[in-house]
Amino acid sequence: MNIKLALLKGDGIGPEIVDSACLVLDKVAEKYGHKIEYKSYLAGGCAIDATGVPLPEETLQGCLDSDSVLLGAVGGPKWDTLPGNLRPEKALLGVRKGLELYANLRPAKLYGALAERCPLRVTDGFDILIVRELTGGIYFGENGRREGKYGPEAYDTESYSITEIERIGRVSFDAAMKRGKKLTSIDKANILETSRLWRETMHRLSAEYPEVEYSDMLVDNAAMQLIRNPAQFDVIVTSNMFGDILSDEASQLTGSIGMLPSASLGEGTRGMYEPIHGSAPDIAGKGIANPIATILSVAMMLRYSFSLSKEADDIEAAVEKALDGGFLTADLGGTLNNAQVTAKIIEFIV
């Protein structure tokens, strides 16, 4: 297979972890006879510095012309004082919107080798898939500033259509059918009208999937239940903002946010794949960033965009062997640097 891949390395540790992931992808491609064509584009803070905008037209077009997109991380204190429409994070929103990527899949798995790193000391482990709606909700609603009763005020508006809820709902039910056939929908239906519509729509969809054990849970309870007993969850589906928050909470239960990959998908096969962590400017350039989340994102890409399950399995198995062997970066309690961990993972792909 020939794969045309757009690279958005971004800021901070982004270039380091993307380069590591590409080395692993090259190894798998060599093993199975695939050809990968890479092309890098500017996005985020580096794009602002070079062009004055976080997402140049050339970058979005390059993503549209590619088979899939691999992103590192964007942002950093250097750009924190910019107005909202020029923040590096606008690049992410722009790519997701431009590629019509409405479903964000964020797996959170506790590996046996990292059980001691879990702050809960979970003995049985857990394997959760969080499905986050990605192009609607409060992040994309009407916003601004105005004069209010008590002076200047700011506002952000959340809205969801039935169509938006149905399509993310179907993604989550389909995912549950391929896993443990258990789905929990997270909302705030006791307060928010958008959540009441969300719940009504999910209930209607659940009738089409009788094999899936479906339940609702309020978001504040869900935050507690993730701490109390994460193993109770299989697939979670929720709105844009709730998914953003809960997936970061879940990441800390895995031992390090450096372990969590993600996939952003739409109607077709093209997706954007990225680690869920940030650009970590404090360690950028030191060669110590954990590359595993980005490497696992490549495995997700192979599975979801290209239906290359064996290749994805090889990467995931190599990561687990590296962890079991104690080949860890500092965030996991180890002493190896980025390049050394990457080399070990490549070594285990045979």
Phi/psi at 113 (nearest 5 deg)?
A: -70, -20
- The amino acid that residue 19 corresponds to is D
pLDDT band at 84 (very low <50, low <70, confident <90, very high): confident
Pull the structure tokens for residue 93. 């929103």
The pLDDT mean for the chain works out to 95
Specify whether the CB–CB gap between 262 and 104 falls below 8 A.
Answer: yes
Residue 338's domain spans which residues?
1-102+262-350
Look at residue 119 in the predicted model and tell me its pLDDT.
81
The count of other CB atoms within 10 Å of the CB of residue 215 is: 9
Q: Is residue 287 part of a domain?
A: yes
Averaged pLDDT for residues 66-82: 96
Q: Judge whether residue 124 has pLDDT over 80.
A: no
Q: Is residue 112 part of a domain?
A: no
Averaged pLDDT for residues 137-143: 92
Contacts of residue 10, Cβ cutoff 8 Å, sequence gap at least 6? 18, 43, 44, 45, 46, 71, 72, 73, 74, 88, 91, 279
Specify whether the CB–CB gap between 109 and 128 falls below 8 A.
Answer: yes
pLDDT 10s digits, 318-337: 999 999 999 999 999 999 99
Q: Judge whether residue 125 has pLDDT over 80.
A: yes
Q: Is residue 107 part of a domain?
A: no
The angle, 0 to 180 degrees and rounded to 10, between the axes of the packed helices 240-253 and 219-228 is 10
Q: Is residue 143 part of a domain?
A: yes
End position of a domain, from candidates 218, 253, 288: 253
pLDDT band at 339 (very low <50, low <70, confident <90, very high): very high
Q: Is residue 110 part of a domain?
A: no
Which of 22-36, 41-55, 114-128, 266-280 comes out lowest in average pLDDT?
114-128
Do 315 and 216 share a domain, yes or no? no
Do 133 and 93 share a domain, yes or no? no
pLDDT 10s digits, 153-205: 999 999 999 999 999 999 999 999 999 999 999 999 999 999 999 999 999 99
Do 243 and 269 share a domain, yes or no? no
Proportion of the chain above pLDDT 70, given as a percent: 99
Averaged pLDDT for residues 231-250: 95
CA distance 108 to 255: 10
Catalytic residue among 49, 80, 156, 220: 220
Do 242 and 123 share a domain, yes or no? yes
CA distance 128 to 232: 9
Do 124 and 249 share a domain, yes or no? yes
Q: Which of 21, 1, 25 is nearest to 10 (CA)?
A: 21
Pull the structure tokens for residue 90. 């606008």
Look at residue 227 in the predicted model and tell me its pLDDT.
92
pLDDT 10s digits, 141-155: 999 999 999 999 999
Do 94 and 158 share a domain, yes or no? no
Do 128 and 249 share a domain, yes or no? yes
End position of a domain, from candidates 253, 288, 320: 253
What is the count of structural domains for the chain?
A: 2
Is 188 an annotated catalytic residue?
yes
CA distances from 167 to 161, 170, 233, 350 (A): 10, 5, 21, 39
Do 249 and 139 share a domain, yes or no? yes
End position of a domain, from candidates 253, 281, 315: 253
Do 124 and 247 share a domain, yes or no? yes
- Tell me the CATH number at 318: 3.40.718.10
Q: Judge whether residue 4 has pLDDT over 80.
A: yes
Q: Give, in degrees to the nearest 5, the angle at Cα 188 between 183 and 189.
A: 90
Catalytic residue among 90, 109, 188, 344: 188
Dihedral (CA of 121, 122, 126, 131) sign: negative
Single pTM value for the model = 0.88
Catalytic residue among 244, 314, 331, 344: 244
Do 123 and 238 share a domain, yes or no? yes
pLDDT band at 300 (very low <50, low <70, confident <90, very high): very high
Q: Judge whether residue 123 has pLDDT over 60.
A: no
pLDDT band at 257 (very low <50, low <70, confident <90, very high): confident
Catalytic residue among 41, 102, 139, 160: 139
Is 139 an annotated catalytic residue?
yes
Residue whose token pair is 């969300």: 198
pLDDT 10s digits, 18-56: 999 999 999 999 999 999 999 999 999 999 999 999 999
42: helix, coil or strand?
A: coil
Kind and range of the H or E element at 18? Answer: helix 14-32
Pull the structure tokens for residue 147. 């004069």
Q: Which of 74, 133, 65 is nearest to 99 (CA)?
A: 65
Catalytic residue among 26, 174, 216, 248: 248
Do 84 and 156 share a domain, yes or no? no
Q: Is residue 111 part of a domain?
A: no
- The amino acid that residue 316 corresponds to is E
Do 307 and 199 share a domain, yes or no? no
Q: Is residue 109 part of a domain?
A: no
Residue whose token pair is 């640097």: 337
Q: Is residue 225 part of a domain?
A: yes
Look at residue 133 in the predicted model and tell me its pLDDT.
97
Is 244 an annotated catalytic residue?
yes
